[in-house]
Amino acid sequence: MSSPLTIISIIALMVCGCVWQARSDDIKVMLASAATVPPTTMASAVKSTSLTAEQALQRLIEGNERYVADKATHPDQTMDRRAELTKGQAPFAIVLTCSDSRVAPELFFDQGLGDLFVIRNAGNVLDDHVIGSMEYAVEHLHVSLIIVVGHEKCGAVSAAVAGGEVPGHIRSVVEAIAPAVETAANLPGDKVDNTVRANALRAAGILAHVEPILKEAIGENKLMIVAARYDLDTGRVEILKPSEPTNSISKTP
């Protein structure tokens, strides 16, 4: 409970109480525009994406629609693309999602090499390594969109909902999801699915207030952060709205 991330989370949740709700009707206030941060030695030699956050999100949605309809085009997977990417990378979206083998963002968004900056762990939870990876992609690769994708029947979320003791370091995963379990505890419907949604929304809400890089990028209209849920049955990615009932994060002290 005393880790830096926990403290950040608590502070972020306190801030969320007054800010997140105010944004509930229009997350597009976090509209992106082209970033102007100069590259570093780690940065891409390829020109950064010129997509706005809205355009990036639309590209993901359209790719997912192809995937759902079994009309995936599998773009950017050619030998030429590989050769192009030896010069650097310019992904247009950051995806945080679960390590679950059924949840593959390049597949369900129908994107290819160099398109997505993907971070995965069980339960798509936040820690300093996850946030640092995102900050690198925002600061140096000028990515304008972060999407946190939870998924149906997530085992990590199910373990957190079930409660009780878990062995080894699995406990840290379950503990990271515990606040979302509490958020969704009194909602009608499926507890696991409600928690999946709350967990993704909570992560997006926290990220929006993580200083300095992410919060500043949002303030400068260079970054948008959204939450989503992937459906195992249909393959569809549903964009979650902060105003949905599961977003009782705004009421969490």
Least distance from C-beta 156 to Zn ion, angstroms? 5
Q: Total residues at the site for Zn ion (CB under 5 A)?
A: 4
Q: Report the C-alpha gap between 78 and 137 in whole angstroms.
A: 24
What are the phi and psi torsion angles at 80 (to 5°)?
Answer: -60, -40
What are the phi and psi torsion angles at 74 (to 5°)?
Answer: 50, 60
Site pattern 86..125 for Zn ion (x: CB under 5 A): ------------x-x-------------------------
Q: Which is nearer to Zn ion, 100 or 135 (CB)?
A: 100
* 154 touches Zn ion (CB under 5 A): yes
Q: Which is nearer to Zn ion, 7 or 232 (CB)?
A: 232
Q: Report the C-alpha gap between 22 and 25 in whole angstroms.
A: 7
Site pattern 55..84 for Zn ion (x: CB under 5 A): ------------------------------
* 177 touches Zn ion (CB under 5 A): no
Alpha helices (H) along the chain: 4-19, 53-68, 79-85, 105-108, 128-139, 155-162, 170-184, 191-207, 213-219
Gyration radius from the chain CA atoms: 18
* 12 touches Zn ion (CB under 5 A): no
> What residues make contact with Zn ion under the rule CB under 5 A?
98, 100, 154, 156
